[in-house]
């Protein structure tokens, strides 16, 4: 039997409303008692263990994830690296995110960059780093999933073009924009879509969200889909590998071999370090 004061309909529904409001408030309070989200590390990184007796990690910085895993795995398999390092860590990020402090602190054992970029950050960078490998004779193309690209202003009309959001990148930014400019394309009216990393750029291209992207011949193997291409530039200087001066000299050949094996057929490297002529490969 209901208490006497609930026999009134007005009082009865008033109590129900109060109970509902209290329950709703309690649900809101519980919904706020969520576990704090874990802090995520830099996902632009790949690690591997050498399995050797060395200590510490050999840290590399590149500007793209392309070839990154193959390079690291090659280094981890090299006996000379295992004798000096316990692991290899390779990371990639836009060139403009490298800081002068990282160069001065020698945070990386090897940096894939260009001389003018390092000199712009730290004019005396050569006190800490020196050239190990120089890559040139590199071809850059326009790639399309449909018809073969044509170097005419009319062809690029209404085309969606993907670029890397890295104003220092020749392959993914400067050369394609220069190509458009030479053809008389009004860049301010062109549909240009920028991406923070090459993986996102090429994923959007593979999904059909872009009509055109620029890149090297490696793109045909990486995407494994039918592509049409047109040459933008020939004999381009791709980049230079700068290595810390404070390093075991005997690892130079292992580094050169690891990069050459990973990039075979796409880049041509000149070895700048002493004793390069005696390296295998």
**Model confidence pLDDT, tens digit, residues 65-102:** 888 999 999 999 999 999 999 999 999 877 778 899 99
Contact 227, 205 (CB under 8 A): no
19 has pLDDT over 60: no
Distance separating alpha carbons of residues 35 and 41, to the nearest angstrom:
18
Instruction: Find, among 248, 243, 252, 241, the residue nearest to 277 by Cα.
Output: 252
The answer on pLDDT for 271 being more than 90 is no
What is the pTM for the complete model shown? 0.69
Per-residue tokens: 1 = 């039997």
For 36-46, what is each residue's pLDDT tens digit?
A: 333 333 458 89
Mean pLDDT of the chain: 83
Residues with Cβ within 8 Å of residue 154, at least 6 apart in sequence: none
What does each C-alpha distance from 278 to 105, 136, 149, 252 come to in angstroms?
31, 22, 44, 11
Position with higher pLDDT, 103 vs 198: 103
Q: What percentage of the chain has pLDDT greater than the value 90?
A: 52
């Amino acid at each position: 039997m209901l208490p006497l004061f609930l026999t009134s309909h007005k009082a009865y529904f008033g109590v129900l409303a109060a109970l509902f409001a209290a329950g709703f408030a309690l649900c809101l309070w519980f919904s706020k008692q969520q576990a704090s989200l874990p802090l995520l590390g830099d996902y632009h990184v790949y690690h591997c263990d050498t399995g050797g007796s060395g200590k510490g990690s050999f840290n590399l910085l590149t500007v793209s994830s392309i070839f990154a895993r193959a390079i690291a795995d090659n280094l981890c398999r090299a006996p000379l690296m295992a004798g000096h390092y316990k692991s290899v860590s390779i990371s990639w990020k836009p060139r403009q995110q490298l800081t002068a402090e990282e160069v001065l602190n020698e945070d990386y054992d090897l940096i894939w960059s260009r001389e003018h970029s390092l000199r712009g950050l730290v004019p005396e960078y050569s006190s800490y780093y020196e050239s190990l490998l120089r890559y040139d004779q590199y071809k850059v193309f326009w790639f399309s999933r449909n018809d073969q690209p044509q170097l005419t202003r009319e062809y690029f009309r209404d085309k969606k073009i993907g670029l890397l959001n890295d104003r220092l990148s020749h392959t993914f930014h400067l050369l394609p924009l220069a190509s458009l400019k030479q053809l008389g394309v009004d860049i301010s009216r062109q549909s240009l879509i920028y991406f923070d990393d090459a993986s996102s750029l090429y994923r959007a291209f593979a999904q059909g969200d872009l009509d055109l992207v620029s890149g090297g011949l490696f793109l045909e193997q990486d995407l494994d889909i039918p592509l049409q291409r047109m040459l933008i530039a020939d004999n381009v200087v791709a980049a230079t590998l700068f290595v810390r001066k404070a390093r075991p000299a005997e690892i130079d050949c292992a580094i050169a071999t690891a990069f050459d094996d990973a990039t075979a057929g796409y880049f041509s490297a000149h070895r700048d370090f002493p004793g390069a002529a005696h390296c295998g490969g």
